[in-house]
Amino acid sequence: MCFFVLLPLSLPAQRVSDLGIRVGVLSSGKYNAITDVPGVKVGHKTLTEGDNVHTGVTAILPHPGNIFQEKVPAAVYIANGFGKLTGISQVQELGNLETPVILTNTLSVPVAADALIDYTLSQKGNEKVKSVNFVVGETNDGYLNDIAGRHVRKQDVLEALSAASDGPVQEGNVGAGNGTVCFGWKGGIGTASRVLPGKSGGYTVGVLVQSNYGGVLYVNGVPVGQELGKHFLHDQLNDPADGSCMIVVATDAPLTSRNLERLAKRAVLGLGKTGGIASNGSGDYVIAFSTATGLRVAHSSASPKYEVSELRNDEVSPLFLAVIEATEEALLNSLFMAETVKGASGTVEALPKQKVLEIYRRYRN
């Protein structure tokens, strides 16, 4: 007797873990999201108008308090610098972050920075602030979005900040990922997390990405882009690798800026595992911060010393593995959760998930 199982022609947006694809060896957190790191919140404002407007804003808050008054240790790593990340020099120089991180499109960086100034000055205790190091990252969504129209307004940024919450994080065509393209398919926002075993400290690493880059797609080691015949240099005119990727890494591990930069470097290994090549025209940046309360940097203090207790170098390798795995899965989630969009310059299809799963199972069985 023969049995035939009829598979649907297409699958709805689902996270890779829900489809039976297990990335790495470490366990994820409750939500498998950057918000598994205690205190971290994420908010989106998605702008869609007809075919021409597909853009938005994503806000990442390191903690729910006044970030300017209680700065967090932070670092930035540049894999390829074809981008417009603003606020980078002060983070690198002082090793801390004093505002939320905003992600948006390339030409909306100035308005987002202006909104972050308003947001910071409006908080109680910041009435006399005269300098704000706003941090805004971007990718270019100009294929699907009328980017020159600069449709993001200050109010949109403030609404994304106001909407920020812990718990599950929306992915795919939301916020700053609404108009992005990845490996020639619809990209977007993705997130994931990893929790270390108790013997390694039990710390959490969470990652959120804005995917808008190219190369040769691999799904957990399976050469999906090659199998589907859609990848960089397969047809150089139609499959460019240029674009960008913003990666935001959060951890509750007690790391100062030096080891946070080392952690950020390993996130790029996760990007590479998906097949990204950090092409000449790609702005690939990682912003990493620690939420450990003992490392908060007070804006003003009566003490001339900043005394901290941080992990030894020998203890950070488990965190390196965690960030590689979380970044890889977050990027895959950004693809698997995205949906087809008809935009300003054409239509970008969602990843053909049913075909991908068939290829994946063939390689894994």
Reply yes or no on whether the pLDDT at 8 is more than 70.
no
Mean pLDDT of the region 49-65: 98
Indicate the DSSP class of residue 252.
-
d(CA 8, CA 213): 29
284 part of the active site? yes
What residue has token string 């030096």?
Answer: 258
For the record, the structure tokens of 92 come out as 């690198």
Q: What are phi and psi of 69, to 5 degrees?
A: -80, -25
| Beta strands 282-290; 243-251: pairing state | parallel
For the record, the structure tokens of 195 come out as 């929790």
Q: Which of 28, 279, 282, 290 is catalytic?
A: 282
- What's the pLDDT at 236? 59
User: pLDDT tens digit string along 263-296?
Assistant: 999 999 999 999 999 999 999 999 999 999 999 9
Q: Which of 239, 284, 290, 334 is catalytic?
A: 284
Q: What are the helix (H) ranges across the chain?
A: 88-94, 109-121, 154-163, 224-228, 257-273, 317-336, 353-364
- Whole-number average pLDDT of the chain: 95
Asked if 340 and 188 touch (Cβ cutoff 8 Å), the reply is no
- What's the pLDDT at 10? 62
Q: What are phi and psi of 106, to 5 degrees?
A: -55, -50
Quick one: pLDDT band at residue 239, thresholds 50, 70, 90?
A: low
| DSSP element (H, E) containing 115 | helix 109-121
Distances (CA, A) of 131 to 117, 203, 229: 9, 33, 51
Q: Which of 193, 244, 257, 334 is catalytic?
A: 244
DSSP-based three-state secondary structure for 203: coil
